[in-house]
Amino acid sequence: MNESKVIEVITKLLNDSGDELVQDAEEQWDSLSHISILVELDSIFEGKCSSISELESAYKIDKILEILKNNNLIE
């Protein structure tokens, strides 16, 4: 999976459509959305995200991407 696909997944979870701007998607971010994002990412990455504690406090798409890159899950 690449960076743009992760952004698509997150924006789709935050909005009813994936064609919204990232900023608009982040405005919709709440704790329930965050849990949904973490569960979806964990599913996509076959359980590898659940062991990355930094994701628990990542409430911005850029931060999630950074963490995924640092853990060699995306390029």
pTM: 0.82
Q: Which residue has the tokens 């999976």?
A: 1
pLDDT at position 26: 66
- Position 73 confidence tier, pLDDT thresholds 50, 70, 90: very high
Residue 75 domain flag: no
**Cα angle, residue 48 at apex, residues 3 and 14 outer, rounded to 5°:** 50
pLDDT at position 29: 82
- Count of domains in the chain? 1
Q: Which domain holds residue 51?
A: 3-70
pLDDT at position 17: 46
What does the pLDDT look like over 24-58, one tens digit per residue? 566 668 888 899 999 999 999 999 999 999 999 99
pLDDT at 18 over 50: no
